[in-house]
Structure 1
Amino acid sequence: MSNTDTEDSTPGRLRIDKWLWYARFFKTRSLAAKLCNDGGVRLSGAVVTKAHAAVKPGDVLTFAQGRHIRVVKVVALGSRRGPAPEAQTLYEDLAPPVPEERLQDPYRAPGAGRPTKRDRRAIDALQSETD
């Protein structure tokens, strides 16, 4: 019998794309596979270039997810893509994502967006004085 998605050839191991999908880091398994094939995942420090790379409990995965770099330790393999509380038992988050408010540009003052019409007129007046 050929090796299919439902059976794994090595006991105690699971395909990395399947595990990332089970753990709900990616919405589809094909997105997880694409990231793996593009070399966007590190497995215990080594770059993964194939989605069929095997993970086992104790491995550390590093990958980008949106604007965050995720570092997770594989705790369990799982057998299905279940609800979020079940998926969270599959890993230990070693570097939790940074809150959005800390990702903002530190040099920009709060509320310093586009100039108002009044500000724009003042800027134009200053520029015309220097000309």
Structure 2
Amino acid sequence: MNTTDKLRLDKWLWAARFFKTRSLAKAAVEGGKVQLAGNRVKVSKEISVGDTLSVRQGWDLREVTVLGLSPQRRGAAEAQLLYVESEDSIAKREAEAQARKAAGGALNRPDQRPNKKQRRHIHQFKREQ
């Protein structure tokens, strides 16, 4: 870990292994998927130790506190030392994952694909609306 006081947000997200590349980290920040203390930020925002970030990855939302800064991407074990996830965040993520898993069988899917006549009716119905 480096002893710098501040580091660009996209670089830290990449070094902490939230995203595979800095360009993916940049796209996530620009898309509003990463927030600093509840506020949208720019990619070049400099973060410091103690800042609280919200990082959305797919279905999951992680609330993390920055513990260290590193301008270099290292192994996963070292990357996990750069942040700590809050207990509430972990509990929420696990509960949501269980709910998704339980609801997975509840989706009603047809036994077969519609035939040509049924597709025509579907297209006609969609055009009328």
TM-score, with structure 2 as normaliser: 0.69
1:19 aligns with: 12
Q: Relative to 1, partners in 2 of residues 1:105 and 1:24: Cα closer, same or farther, differing over 3 Å?
A: same
Give structure 2 stretches of 5+ with no counterpart. Answer: 112-129
2:83 aligns with: 91
Task: Deviation per CA, 1:24-47: give whole Å up to 9, x if none.
Answer: 000111000111122221101211
Equivalence map 1:16-95=2 (5 Å): 16-48=9-41, 50-94=42-86, 95=89
1:104 aligns with: 101
User: C-alpha distance in 1, partners of 2:19/2:82?
Assistant: 14
Larger Rg, first or second structure (1 or 2) = 1
Q: Relative to 1, partners in 2 of residues 1:77 and 1:101: Cα closer, same or farther, differing over 3 Å?
A: same
Task: Deviation per CA, 1:91-127: give whole Å up to 9, x if none.
Answer: 0011123274432354956xx87688xxxxxxxxxxx
RMSD of the TM alignment (CA)? 2.5
Higher RCO (CA < 8 A, seq sep 6+):
2
Instruction: Select the structure that is richer in helix.
Output: 2
Identical amino acids, percent of aligned pairs: 41
Judge conservation of contact 1:24–1:84 (CA < 8 Å) in 2: yes
Whichever residue aligns with residue 78 of structure 1, its letter is S
Deviation at 1:79, TM superposition (A): 3.3
User: C-alpha distance in 2, partners of 1:64/1:53?
Assistant: 18
Deviation at 1:14, TM superposition (A): 0.3
User: C-alpha distance in 1, partners of 2:72/2:104?
Assistant: 45
Judge conservation of contact 2:52–2:63 (CA < 8 Å) in 1: yes
TM-score, with structure 1 as normaliser: 0.68
Judge conservation of contact 1:14–1:56 (CA < 8 Å) in 2: yes
User: C-alpha distance in 2, partners of 1:58/1:27?
Assistant: 23
